[in-house]
Amino acid sequence: MERRNRSSQKSCPFCGKSIIGDCYRGELICSSCGFVVEDHNEYQGPEWKAMDLEEKQRKVRVGAPRTLSLHDNGLTTVIGTGLKDSHGISLSPYMRMSIKKMKKWQKRIRTASSEERSLSAVLSKINEISNNLNLPKTVTETAAHTYRILAKKKVAKSRSIMGMAGASIYLACRKCRVSRSLKEVSRATNADKRTIAKYYRLVLKETEKEYVPPLSLGKYISKLVNTIKIDPKVERLAIHLMSEISNSKIFDGKAPAGIAASFVYISSMLSGAHVPQREIAEAAEVTEVTIRNRSREILNNFMIRQYLKVIPKDGDEILADRYHKSLNLG
DNA sequence: ATGGTTTTTACTGCGTC
DNA sequence: GACGCGGTAAAAACCAT
């Protein structure tokens, strides 16, 4: 199978240089710093396999892949502008006129009804927002799919377009286990966070029969570690600590971003990387106070020993051990 | 609307480089 | 003195009812 690298117009969020997309592996990787911009993309090349050139030529039969994110699924008919017919014979002036008319009407019909037109507008908004958020194609498609359902059920009627688009995208992120916060989505849509949250609940009710689980803490940690440049061992350590503790009740009702931030902070301390609270707080979009509070709770309730087993303290020990002692590895 | 919980804001004091 | 850190009180945001 042929292996193709397609370069795209996007630039790396880290170094600003161009990004090479490797569609074979389904990843978008920055060519200079190696940052993985997107992963787990669908392979967007042909979905067939050709053993030789002849077979390949025979099998090339389609244009762009079918997509839910265009209002007609990308399956529109385009009438060509050539002056010859399929046999290569020149068309008569009469036929040319007729084709010109057909072209005109085809264009009109394509987005004929008002529903079609508004669907088309919203779907293009969804595409735009997805681009802004660097979302994998699967998420965009999922969002488009839910929006179609909403449009069909007329739920989206007389509601903010950006709000509905944002809610669809946010839901798609959750379903596809892609970590994008409500904050990020609302930034990308220029819509109020509360509006999107409200619509999200509505969308959930209208389109989802099954429970959509919240993102795992591990996802939050990975994302956080990705946004700040940090030693991978910090991530491993953070995830290790998290997996030992995460079923603890001390996190009940606490915002996951803050919990993840504090695991990353503690891990960066333990591993000697020493990432300042401010930096982690900024990347996680929580405050330093929250990181401190979560860290205190973790270190007050658990002893982190040298071999990195985490054990619960009993009541008397809880107050005795302070932060720094814990950081000195028990 | 309300009340309980969590997070943020703003500020203070301490130790270190 | 700038910086990172830990702490607190009060305001703001959030959430279920």
Which CATH number does the domain housing residue A323 bear? 1.10.472.10
Same domain? A237 vs A315: yes
Residue A273 lies in a domain: yes
Looking at residue A38, what is its pLDDT? 56
**Dist. CA A95–CA A42, nearest whole Å:** 43
Looking at residue A2, what is its pLDDT? 35
Domain end, chosen from A48, A64, A80, is at A64
Nucleotide at minimal C1' distance from the A287 CA: B8
Chain A residues 256-275, Cβ below 7 A from strand C: 274
Domain end, chosen from A137, A172, A207, is at A207
Same domain? A280 vs A187: no
For the CA of A197 and the C1' of C13, the distance in angstroms is: 14
**How many Å from the N-terminal Cα to the C-terminal Cα in chain A?**
55
For the CA of A50 and the C1' of C6, the distance in angstroms is: 64
For the CA of A229 and the C1' of C13, the distance in angstroms is: 30
Residue A70 lies in a domain: no
Q: What dihedral angle (degrees, nearest 10) is formed by the CA atoms of A207, A133, A76, A21?
A: -130
Residue A48 lies in a domain: yes
What 3-state class would DSSP assign to A248? coil
Token output for A115:
């529903």
The one-character DSSP state at A47 is S
Say yes or no: Cβ of A292 under 7 A from any atom of strand C.
yes
Residue A69 lies in a domain: no
The alpha carbon of residue A280 and the mean position of all alpha carbons in its chain are separated, in whole angstroms, by 21
Same domain? A224 vs A197: no
Range of the domain at A5: 1-64
Residue A263 lies in a domain: yes
Of A41, A39, A19, which Cα lies nearest the Cα of A31? Answer: A19
Same domain? A261 vs A304: yes
Render the burial of A286-313: b for 16+ CB within 10 Å, e for the rest: bebebbbebbebbbbbbbbeeeeebeee
Residue matched to tokens 């503690």: A266
Looking at residue A250, what is its pLDDT? 92
Q: Would you say A266 and A241 are in contact if contact means Cβ atoms under 8 Å apart?
A: yes
Token output for A67:
């997509």
Same domain? A304 vs A245: yes
Q: For nucleotide C3, give the residue with the nearest CA to its C1'.
A: A276
Residue A280 lies in a domain: yes
Looking at residue A4, what is its pLDDT? 39
Looking at residue A57, what is its pLDDT? 57
Residue A101 lies in a domain: no
For the CA of A194 and the C1' of B3, the distance in angstroms is: 21
CB atoms within 10 A of CB A89: 8
Same domain? A290 vs A310: yes
Same domain? A50 vs A16: yes
Q: pLDDT under 70 in chain A at which residues?
A: 1-65, 74-76, 82, 109-112, 305-330
Looking at residue A86, what is its pLDDT? 73
Same domain? A199 vs A225: no
Nucleotide at minimal C1' distance from the A284 CA: B7
Looking at residue A176, what is its pLDDT? 94
Looking at residue A130, what is its pLDDT? 95
Looking at residue A293, what is its pLDDT? 96
Chain B positions within 7 A of any protein Cβ atom are 5-10
**pLDDT, tens digit, for every residue of A265-284?**
999 998 888 899 999 999 99
Same domain? A201 vs A231: no
Same domain? A272 vs A171: no
Q: For nucleotide B6, give the residue with the nearest CA to its C1'.
A: A254
Say yes or no: Cβ of A214 under 7 A from any atom of strand C.
no
Same domain? A244 vs A263: yes
Looking at residue A11, what is its pLDDT? 60
pTM above the 0.85 mark? Answer: no
Residue A76 lies in a domain: no
Q: What dihedral angle (degrees, nearest 10) is formed by the CA atoms of A177, A178, A184, A187?
A: -100
- Please report, for residues A106, A147, A208, A255, the alpha-carbon distance to residue A112 in angstroms, rounded to integers and kept in the order given: 10, 19, 30, 46
Q: How many domains does chain A have?
A: 3
Domain end, chosen from A155, A173, A207, is at A207
Nucleotide at minimal C1' distance from the A327 CA: C5
Same domain? A228 vs A320: yes
